[in-house]
Amino acid sequence: ILNVEQSPQSLHVQEGDSTNFTCSFPSSNFYALHWYRWETAKSPEALFVMTLNGDEKKKGRISATLNTKEGYSYLYIKGSQPEDSATYLCAFEMGYSTLTFGKGTMLLVSP
């Protein structure tokens, strides 16, 4: 059974704060690590697909790093805004197929 864990479970920050979350996953049979941003009643939005050890990707104020040897990825948000409030999901992919998700980190950014 594949185990994908995310921490923290939830996070409440003030506008302007920078924050980061962790996703841990199996270090064997790795193909890709996906990050999604999910707002209630909307489609989960793909943020990053990371495939190479040491990968760093950036999209605006959001960035992510990947360590496949130790099995973790960090997602960073610089200068959080209220519109960043959402659940952030990571998903592990083994061999170009299905996704195994973590439980998500729920972020709330207060003005």
Partner 1 sequence: EPEVTQTPSHQVTQMGQEVILRCVPISNHLYFYWYRQILGQKVEFLVSFYNNEISEKSEIFDDQFSVERPDGSNFTLKIRSTKLEDSAMYFCASRDRGGDTQYFGPGTRLTVL
Q: Give residues in contact with partner 1 (CB under 8 A).
A: 4, 32, 34, 36, 41-44, 46, 49, 51, 89, 91, 97-104
Task: Work out how close the CB of 108 gets to partner 1 at its nearest, in angstroms, rounded to a whole number.
Answer: 18
Pick between residue 32 and residue 107 the one whose CB is nearest to partner 1: 32
Question: Rounded CA gap, 25 and 71, in Å?
Answer: 5
Decide: 80 and 109 in contact? Cβ < 8 Å.
Answer: yes
Task: Work out how close the CB of 79 gets to partner 1 at its nearest, in angstroms, rounded to a whole number.
Answer: 26
Task: Work out how close the CB of 19 gets to partner 1 at its nearest, in angstroms, rounded to a whole number.
Answer: 22
Question: Rounded CA gap, 28 and 17, in Å?
Answer: 35
Pick between residue 91 and residue 109 the one whose CB is nearest to partner 1: 91
Which helix H or strand E contains 26, and what residues bound it? Answer: none
Task: Work out how close the CB of 106 gets to partner 1 at its nearest, in angstroms, rounded to a whole number.
Answer: 12
Pick between residue 17 and residue 26 the one whose CB is nearest to partner 1: 26
**What are the structure tokens assigned to 96, written together?**
């170009």
Which helix H or strand E contains 77, and what residues bound it? Answer: strand 72-77
